[in-house]
Amino acid sequence: MIGPEALPGDLLTTLRLPPAMSAMRMPGYEAAVWRAELSDGRTVAVRLLRQGVPGDTELMALRVAADLGQPAPAVVGHGQWDGRDAIVSAWCAGRSMGELLEDGGDPWALGTLMGRAQAGLHKPAADGRVLCHLDFQPFNIVVLDDAITGIVDWGNAALTDRRHDLAWTTVVLDLAPALLPELVPIIDAFGAAWRDGYRQLRELPPEGELRPFLADAAAKQLSDWAPRAAAGECPASVADAARAVAARWSD
């Protein structure tokens, strides 16, 4: 997590939004995140990005996703605070799919739901590119009453080849046992359901075709987790798992 624990008092007013009556810090690595209740009754997510990280990509992705009819949270304000980009969006009711899995949710039902959602996102434009989330994983998908109410954290998104997105999700699921050992008993079923759900709406590329994309995604994950482990921000076992996954797909 980054940034101050308390929502800065002038952040929302700097963005020309009503002040917060209350705010709760939420998990976040690439941004400091709060759930805030505004004085006008709206509940919003406030994301204060890292110093030097522009919000343009996330704003573009949120708008394109909305145009595609995807459950991306609506942007209600954006701008800069203390030299850092900030984005305020509508709060998505529900809980993350990752939390539901941790609490014993049905891995097959949730995995199928995630696969269908990603296939829906991958509707190609005229030039063949699609909107790729590039961190499409259970903790970025909000669910309420067996329906997805929000796909969040679009900071890595790009209009590109869908195989990049599929490879990223595959590698994240490969790393899940190291990140969350409690998911080991269900992660294989969840991954199989994700693929099955995707295939219900769109054909999956064969593994051989995905291999270079998998190698690229695994190398990026390793470059992310290795410094974190060295800095003591995560267990060394996570970096070791990232090295093993990177070696597997680079063979």
- Which tens digit of pLDDT belongs to each residue from 136-189? 999 999 999 999 999 999 999 999 999 999 999 999 999 999 999 999 999 999
167-202 per-residue burial string, b: 16 or more CB within 10 A, e: under 16:
bbbbbbbbbbbbbeeebeebbeebbebbbebbeeeb
pLDDT given at position 184: 93
3 inside domain: no
83 and 117 assigned to the same domain: no
3-class state of residue 125 by DSSP? coil
pLDDT given at position 31: 86
3-class state of residue 159 by DSSP? strand
3-class state of residue 95 by DSSP? strand
119 and 209 assigned to the same domain: yes
Structural domain count, the chain: 2
Instruction: Supply the range of the domain harboring residue 50.
Output: 11-90
78 inside domain: yes
pLDDT given at position 27: 77
2 inside domain: no
Share of the chain above pLDDT 70, in %: 98
139 and 217 assigned to the same domain: yes
203 and 229 assigned to the same domain: yes
The confidence band for 129, taking pLDDT boundaries of 50, 70 and 90, is: confident
- Which tens digit of pLDDT belongs to each residue from 185-225? 999 999 999 999 999 999 999 989 999 999 999 999 999 99
pLDDT given at position 30: 73
The confidence band for 1, taking pLDDT boundaries of 50, 70 and 90, is: very low
Separation CA 199–CA 234 (nearest Å): 34
**Domain end among 45, 65, 90:** 90
137 and 53 assigned to the same domain: no
Q: What is the CATH number of the domain that holds 76?
A: 3.30.200.20
139 and 38 assigned to the same domain: no
